[in-house]
Amino acid sequence: MKYVLVTGGVVSGLGKGVTASSIGLLLKACGLRVTSIKIDPYLNTDAGTMSPVEHGEVFVLDDGGEVDLDLGNYERFLDIKLTRDNNITTGKIYQDVIDRERRGDYLGKTVQVVPHITDAIQEWIERVAQYQWMGSQHQLFQWLFQITDNFLVVGDIESMPFIEALGQFSYRVGSDNFCLIHVSLVPVLNVVGEQKTNPTQHSVRGLRCLGLTPHLIACRSTTALEENVKTKVSQFCHVQKENIITLYDVSNIWHIPLLLRDQKAHEAIFKVLNLQGAEICDMLHEPVRIAMVGKYTRLSDAYLSVIKALVHASVARGKKLFVDWVPAGDLEDATAKENPDAYKAAWKLLKGADGVLVPGGFGDRGVQGKILAAKYAREKRIPFLGICLGMQIAVIEFARSVLGLKDANSTEFDPNTKNPCVIFMPEGSTTHMGATMRLGSRRTYFQSTESKSAKLYGNKRFIDERHRHRYEVNPEMVARLENAGLSFTGKDETGQRMEIVELRNHPYFIGVQYHPEFKSRPGKPSALFIGLIAAACGQLDAFLQGSESKRNIPNGPANDMSQRHISYGASNDMPQRNITNGASNHMFQAACGQLESFFQGSETKRNVPNGAAKAYQNGAAAKLANRPQDGAYSIFNGMHL
Question: Hey, what amino acid is at 499?
Answer: E
Q: Which of 179, 219, 237, 388 is catalytic?
A: 388
Residue of 566 and 519 predicted with greater confidence: 519
Section 82-102 average pLDDT = 94
CATH number for 2-135+155-273 (one of 3.40.190.10, 3.40.980.10, 3.40.50.720, 3.40.50.300): it is: 3.40.50.300
> CB-based burial of residue 248 (10 Å sphere; 0-12 exposed, 13-18 middle, 19+ buried)?
middle
DSSP-assigned states of every residue in 53-81:
HHH---EE-TT--EE-THHHHHHHHHT--
The answer to whether residues 412 and 471 touch, using CB atoms and an 8 Å cutoff, is yes
Give the residue from 302, 269, 288, 308 showing the smallest Cα distance to 635.
308
Q: Which of 517, 537, 565, 586 is catalytic?
A: 517
First to last CA, the chain: 24
Range from 277-291, 392-406, 622-636 that averages highest in pLDDT: 392-406
Evaluate whether 2-135+155-273 and 286-543 have a shared fold: yes
Q: Does the domain spanning 286-543 belong to CATH 2.40.50.100?
A: no
The answer to whether residues 531 and 500 touch, using CB atoms and an 8 Å cutoff, is no
pTM value is 0.52
- Helix or strand holding residue 52 (H, E): helix 52-55
Which residues are bridge partners to 148 per DSSP?
5, 37
pLDDT digits (tens, 9 = 90+) for 578-615: 333 333 333 333 333 443 443 444 433 334 334 333 33
Residues making up the chain, counted from first to last: 641
pLDDT digits (tens, 9 = 90+) for 393-445: 999 999 999 999 998 999 888 898 998 999 988 765 454 444 457 878 889 99
Section 606-628 average pLDDT = 39
Omega cis (within 30) before 340: no
DSSP 85: G
What percent of the chain shows pLDDT beyond 70?
Answer: 77
Helix (H, G, I), strand (E, B) or coil at 403: coil
Q: Is 237 considered catalytic here?
A: no
Question: Hey, what amino acid is at 269?
Answer: I
- Specify the pLDDT at position 85: 92
Sheet containing 438-446, strands listed edge to edge, beginning at the edge strand earlier in sequence: 462-469, 438-446, 486-491, 498-503, 509-512, 384-387, 355-358, 287-294, 320-327, 566-568, 578-579
Q: Is 379 considered catalytic here?
A: no
The residue extents of the domains of the chain are 2-135+155-273, 286-543
CA–CA separation, 371 and 91 (whole Å): 70
- Specify the pLDDT at position 436: 59
Section 245-271 average pLDDT = 90
pLDDT digits (tens, 9 = 90+) for 123-164: 999 888 777 655 443 332 334 455 665 544 555 788 889 999
User: Would you place residue 323 in the very low, low, confident or very high pLDDT band (cuts 50, 70, 90)?
Assistant: very high
Average pLDDT, the chain: 79
- Specify the pLDDT at position 120: 96
Residue of 624 and 93 predicted with greater confidence: 93
Q: Which of 515, 537, 565, 592 is catalytic?
A: 515
Q: Is 255 considered catalytic here?
A: no
Asked if residue 562 has pLDDT above 70, the reply is no
Which spans in 380-439 are helix H? 389-401
